[in-house]
Amino acid sequence: MNITVQKFGGSSVADTEKIKNVARRVSQTRKKGEYVVVVISALGDTTDRLVRLAYEISPHPRERELDMLLATGEQISVALLSMAVNELGYDAISFTGAQVGIVTDGAHTKAKILDVKVGRILEELEKGKIVIVAGFQGVSLDDQITTLGRGGSDTTAVALAAALKADACEIYTDVDGIFTADPRIVPEAQKLDRISYEEMLEMAATGARVLQLRSVEFARNYGVVMHVRSSFSESEGTWIESDERMEKAIISGVTDDSGEAKVTVFDVPDRPGSAASLFEALSKANINVDMIIQNVSEGDRTAISFTVGEEDLEKAQEISETIAGELGAGGVTVDKDIAKVSLVGAGMRTHPGVAADMFNALAENGINIEMISTSTIKISCVIPAKDVNKAVSAIHKKFGLDKGVVMHA
Ligand code: ASP
Ligand code: MG
């Protein structure tokens, strides 16, 4: 059975005309003889609206209730899309995540998928139906409704593609694919035809906003080929697959992320265990720490800075203050006005000098670097938030990405 999974994001189903457009697209694929499983997000900015409503009621809504609320968005869109497909003379059936058996752990608002049951989907496909599944949601082992974190419909789609051994997982969105930089910042940014899982993981982790990070991890782990493309045109988008099959780019792209904040604990006694107690406390509170630097100590005192998502800043500050007190440190400062710019490319492994060129691009524009972190295929710098657009443009230009991606064997 040739199964194609097609996922459409919120902007592709923002109103009834757009829902009808999606209905036409999935029907066309069915007409070609493919079996189609569709995953969709909530209409337009529905999820944002639901989140706002919750916080108007309570500053700290319980996460179980948040999931009950947020999961309704996708239930609306699957039902409407199913009606639109039926209207075109094709047979469709909609399901919630719980109905098809997308089984998750119990971590409300950021649940992980444990198992995907495909029996019910296969049964309906065999009857010739187009199966439409609500993205972003699942059901926990103790029968609670869960959601997979913002952008989670991408992960639903990849998980279904893996479980169904689908030919491909097509991610339809409002842009033409993955670009060398955010085209709203750099108009000369180029669409990438292909990118490896590894590079896409770094791009998603450092701020490319097209795909949920976890969907790419899932795709890599299960070898699902993803195709990110526009729901409003027929043109090819960006293929994400294993890099054995492709020519390697030296640099694939520049990403930016203004959603982090920096915490500094200063005057920390420089002795074994200080960093351990701080980061242990943060991890116990489920706070993801991104970059960390510890300064050279002066006398027997040092400073530790780290970045966290802005949404975790309040909690991270509280915990850091408690630990600072216990350690006898000087205190804690926080800075929200930071941004991270990153350069991603598999070719960095074999091309020395990439880091120096990136730092030079920033220096030539008078941009001060506050923190640096690297992996084998990525360099990230924390800079003042006000400089972020200038930084992305300067780095993009420095590596000649506006003229297309440079390949090497
Ligand atoms: N509707 C959810 C969100 O806005 C899930 C998704 O769009 O993938 O985050
Ligand atoms: Mg999305």
Beta strands in 258-354 (DSSP E): 260-269, 289-294, 301-309, 331-335, 338-344
**Which residue out of 12, 41, 133 has the highest number of ligand 1 atoms within 8 Å of its CB and is therefore the one to mutate?**
41
DSSP 298: B
CB atoms within 10 A of CB 264: 17
- Report the pLDDT value the prediction gives residue 286, as an integer from 0 to 100: 87
Which residues does 290 contact at the CB level (< 8 Å), separation at least 6? 260, 306, 307, 308, 309, 340, 373
User: What mean pLDDT comes out for the span 357-380?
Assistant: 96
Q: How far apart are CA 120 and CA 131, in angstroms?
A: 10
Instruction: Kindly give the distance from the C-alpha atom of residue 219 to the centroid of ligand 1, in angstroms, as a whole number.
Output: 18
Among protein residues, the one whose CA lies closest to atom 4 of ligand 1: 47
Cα-trace Rg, the chain = 23
With beta carbons less than 8 A apart as the criterion, state whether 375 and 163 touch: no
With beta carbons less than 8 A apart as the criterion, state whether 370 and 333 touch: no
Give the residues surrounding ligand 1 with Cβ less than 6 Å away: 9-10, 41-42, 47, 73, 135-136, 150-154
Looking up tokens 């940014």, which residue turns up?
189
- Report the pLDDT value the prediction gives residue 247, as an integer from 0 to 100: 64
Which residues does 244 contact at the CB level (< 8 Å), separation at least 6? none
With beta carbons less than 8 A apart as the criterion, state whether 249 and 347 touch: yes
Alpha helices in 7-96 (DSSP H): 16-31, 46-57, 63-87
Read off φ and ψ for residue 404, nearest 5 degrees.
105, 160
Q: In which band, very low, low, confident or very high, does the pLDDT at 409 lie, cut at 50, 70 and 90?
A: very low
How do 238-241 and 289-294 pair as beta strands?
A: unpaired
User: What mean pLDDT comes out for the span 255-259?
Assistant: 96
Q: Of ligand 1's atoms, which has the minimum distance to the CA of residue 150?
A: 9
Q: How far apart are CA 176 and CA 35, in angstroms?
A: 24
Among protein residues, the one whose CA lies closest to atom 6 of ligand 1: 151
Asked whether residue 190 carries a pLDDT value surpassing 90, the answer given is: yes
Mean pLDDT, the chain, integer: 94
What are the sequence ranges of the domains in the chain?
Answer: 3-174
Q: How far apart are CA 176 and CA 186, in angstroms?
A: 15
- The pLDDT tens digits for 214-224 are 999 999 999 99
Instruction: Kindly give the distance from the C-alpha atom of residue 10 to the centroid of ligand 2, in angstroms, as a whole number.
Output: 6
Q: How far apart are CA 357 and CA 342, in angstroms?
A: 13
Instruction: Kindly give the distance from the C-alpha atom of residue 66 to the centroid of ligand 1, in angstroms, as a whole number.
Output: 13
Q: How far apart are CA 397 and CA 21, in angstroms?
A: 37
Angle between helices 213-222 and 153-164 (to 10 degrees): 10
- Report the pLDDT value the prediction gives residue 318, as an integer from 0 to 100: 97
Q: In which band, very low, low, confident or very high, does the pLDDT at 306 lie, cut at 50, 70 and 90?
A: very high
- The pLDDT tens digits for 64-119 are 999 999 999 999 999 999 999 999 999 999 999 999 999 999 999 999 999 999 99
- Report the pLDDT value the prediction gives residue 407, as an integer from 0 to 100: 64
User: What mean pLDDT comes out for the span 172-183?
Assistant: 94
Q: If one looks up domain 3-174 in CATH, what number appears?
A: 3.40.1160.10
